[in-house]
Amino acid sequence: MPTTSLTSVQVARFVAAGYLRLDAVVPDELNDRAIGVLEAGLPAVPYGTPIEDAFPTGGFTRDLLEVPEVAGALRGLVGPGATVDHHAVHVRRPRGGEAQPLHGDAIIDVRPDAFDVQLMYYPRAVEADMGGTLVVPGSHLRRTNESDTGRYQNLLGQVRLTCPAGTVMLLHHGIWHGGRRNDSDVQRYMYKIRFNPTVPQVLLWDTADLRDPAVARELDRRFPWYEHATGRLEVHNRVHLWRTMTADPTFDIDYWATRVSNRPLLRSAV
């Protein structure tokens, strides 16, 4: 099945913000089919199961992952041959539930050269009073341990998702997020799958625009919650991730990474 490849600008946007939105890319037929499947529940998948084994051809999840925009985005971020870490169905009943504490998934993750991708799929439109998923843009490269951020109630620039039906979000595993309370009379559905890469995440997307100045502009984005000094470290972290993802050890923004990694050889005074 054909895919729709990500561009370098889109991947840079993901590296900067920690997530990528694909609005209304899933067709209505599949969205309608999703409700019955999610209500019934899905069987657990053992950690590390290849996608082909976890989700058989013709099944709902496999069809979701083969939507061209979804397939192309996953290939561009996590690569071919990815395995399934886990998947889960989240349903928020009308006028029910509590706001989930702000958190990053799993323990502190110190990998500088790899990341997992979490897919979140919304088969029905999410309106503001339905709560939705809260994310803090640009938080994914600041290392925390799971619920360390749970004491924070609101951060300047946070985004509470509202979206049309059939929207898919792809998140870096480290992004701070949490499900909000549903204050509406409509049931809210979200289906999450976490993917683990099995290949180096290097130049997996359409690189025709790799030298486009818009790439550096995306990577240099600041978010409102950043501190003046410490916030600049987030840009520094992005530079190093982008160097890894492009196999380009010379890439930089405003010389930040270059100056702090400069190690001239000691020379004789002669």
Residue-wise pLDDT for 126-147, tens only, equals: 999 998 899 999 999 998 888 8
Average pLDDT, stretch 187-209? 97
**Overall CATH class of domain 8-196:** mainly beta
Order of strands across the sheet that contains 159-160: 159-160, 133-135, 177-179
Q: Rounded to two decimals, what is the model's pTM?
A: 0.94
Residue-wise pLDDT for 109-118, tens only, equals: 888 899 999 9
Q: Which of 56, 34, 10 has the alpha carbon at shortest distance from 167?
A: 34
Measured between alpha carbons, how far is residue 223 from residues 16, 97, 154, 173 in Å? 9, 29, 14, 19
Structure tokens at 122: 């919304």
Dist. CA 90–CA 102, nearest whole Å? 16
Confidence of residue 26 (pLDDT cuts 50, 70, 90): very high
Dist. CA 99–CA 101, nearest whole Å? 6
